[in-house]
Structures are given as C-alpha cells and as structure tokens.
Amino acid sequence: MKVAIIGGTGFVGSYLVERLLQDGHTPRLLVRPGSESKVERSDGCERVAGEVNDARALRECLQGTVAVIYLIGILREFPARGITFEALQHQGVIDTLTAARQAGVTRFILMSANGIRADGSAYQRTKFQAEEALKASGLRWTIFRPSVIFGDPRGRMEFCDQLKRDIILSPLPAPLFFPGLLPLKAGQFELAPVAVTDVAAAFALALTDPATESQTYSLCGPDRLSWKAILTAIAAACGRSKWMLPAPAGVVKAAAALLERYPWFPITRGQIEMLLEGNVCTGDDGFARLGITPRRFAPETLGYLRN
C-alpha cells in the first residue's frame, strides 16, 4: 500500500515511516527543502520536495496513493518566520484535503491532540478546526488525539528530552506551576505520557482496519502522572535528583508575554495554560478500543535520556 505522509520527517513521522515499512507499505513523504537528511529509511521511501503550502507538491505527493496521513503540528509559533498554528495545523489540513480530492484519495488519517476544544488556546483551536474540516470533507477519516508523546527523539524535538534540556539540566530549580496565589497544588496537574511507538502502531492499524473509519481515538499512556512525578522520573532517568519549587503561573505567564517571541525562552503563555489544564483521557480509552496495550512511562522506556 502506498501512503502519503505530510509531516513524515518529524518525531512521530520518523517512527511511523519505520512501522509502515515494517508492515510492507511504501511511504511517500512531502519533504521540505533542507530536510532531506531527516528522512528515515530513505531507501524504502518515495520523496516529493515541497512545502505544505505548495499545491503542486501536495498533489504530486498524493497522486497514486491510497491514503494520506497528516502529522504536522507545532508546539509554538513564530509569525515573523511564517510558522503559525493557523498555517500548519488548520490551513495545511484544508490544503491537503483539496489535494486529496484532486488526486482521488479518499482515506485521510489526522493526528490531532488530546484536550483540544473550539474555545481553547490557538494550538487547541486550530487542531479543533482541522478536525471539523476533515469530518465535513466527505472523505473516509480517522482522528487520533494523543496526550504528550515520549520516546527517543532521534535528533528531533520530544517532550522528555526538552524538559531534560530546559529544566533538569538547568542550574535553576524545577518550576512546579500552580494557578492563583496559594501553592497548595503546585505541580499536581496530571498528564498521561504515551509512547511514540504505540502512536505509530495506532496509525498503522487504522490503514487496514475499516472499523476505525469515522472514529476519533484519544491516545493516553496507562499512567496518570503529576507534573512533579514526571519531572522526578526524567531526572532519575538522567541519573540526577532535582530541586523543585512552586512557581506561580501568573508570574511566569507575565514573563512569557514579553519573551515568548524569542526561541530561547522555554515556554509560552498557551503552553502554561494547557499544562495547568492537565492532559489525561477521561471516558475514552483509544488503545483499548484498538486492541493495543500501551507502554508505561517507566525507567525502561526512558533509557534514551541517559545519553
């Protein structure tokens, strides 16, 4: 099966390409100029050069494929460089839907995110709008909503590696964010980290299982962990202990309002707000519905952080 992947050179994309090749499929990747070296297993992939806003390149990438998988997502935007949630998480999906119709591709699988909503942050809102556009497209769709994804980054951006670099290895105390004025629940909001290999397995299954069509799956790991517990686990995986202090979210957001436009500042206002909301699955165990047993967020799955 020949499958078009938009976003196939990223973190999740690298694992999905590997899984699809293992299953006997032929991935065709849209590759931005300068990202050729990021293609995993280039010997088994087809490549089309171009950006997601290049209609010609999109049509070429989708022509002759039986399905398209859209993986592009960003954690923060830099409008001055043309990197925005709207362009990459919403308009990019719309443009790919147009290319799919033109190429006669009727199967579309989208990576969204757990916790999205119409009235949320710009990140959440554009993911929600992309879902709505796909559902209204008339194509045979499946949507996956993973929580925070972990796994060996292979030189790319990844949740735990970023926390290691920005927080655990920093000489400053680790921040235990809390809303309001009193730090009674500092760092107690919960996340459900999910292994990237399990996310890739879910996408691969959806390609061949008709029961996944017109379905939305939340993908969370089996453990609901507090922010404090996650930082503690990452520090332990790095062979360290880490001093932690309560950090009022309001003060950090005020600093982010001034500095988030600079890439060196580690967090944005939107990211703080989404962290405080938590990110766990409530009422929908997507892996159970798919028959996949997800890996735990544990020392044996965090060994890559020792490097």
Residue 106 neighbours by CB under 8 Å, 6+ apart: 100, 139, 140
Q: Tell whether 113 is covered by a domain.
A: yes
pLDDT at res. 35: 86
pLDDT, tens digit, 9 for 90 and up, residues 16-47: 999 999 999 999 999 998 888 888 777 889 99
Co-location of 238 and 90 in the same domain: no
CATH number where 199 lies: 3.40.50.720
Same domain, 167 and 207: no
C-alpha 68: how far from chain center: 17
Residues belonging to the chain: 307
Residue 28, exposed/middle/buried by CB under 10 A (0-12, 13-18, 19+)?
buried
Neighbours of 27 (CB within 10 A): 26
Mean predicted confidence (pLDDT) in 284-307 = 93
Q: Is the pLDDT of residue 135 over 90?
A: yes
Distance (Å, rounded) from C-alpha 98 to C-alpha 68?
A: 12
> What digits encode the pLDDT tens for the residues 73-94?
999 999 988 899 999 999 999 9
Once rounded to an integer, what is the mean pLDDT over residues 207-224? 97
- 151 closest CA partner among 193, 109, 204: 193
Q: Is residue 138 part of a domain?
A: yes
What gap in Å lies between CA 54 and CA 122, rounded to an integer? 23
Residue 259 structural domain: 159-191+223-280+296-306
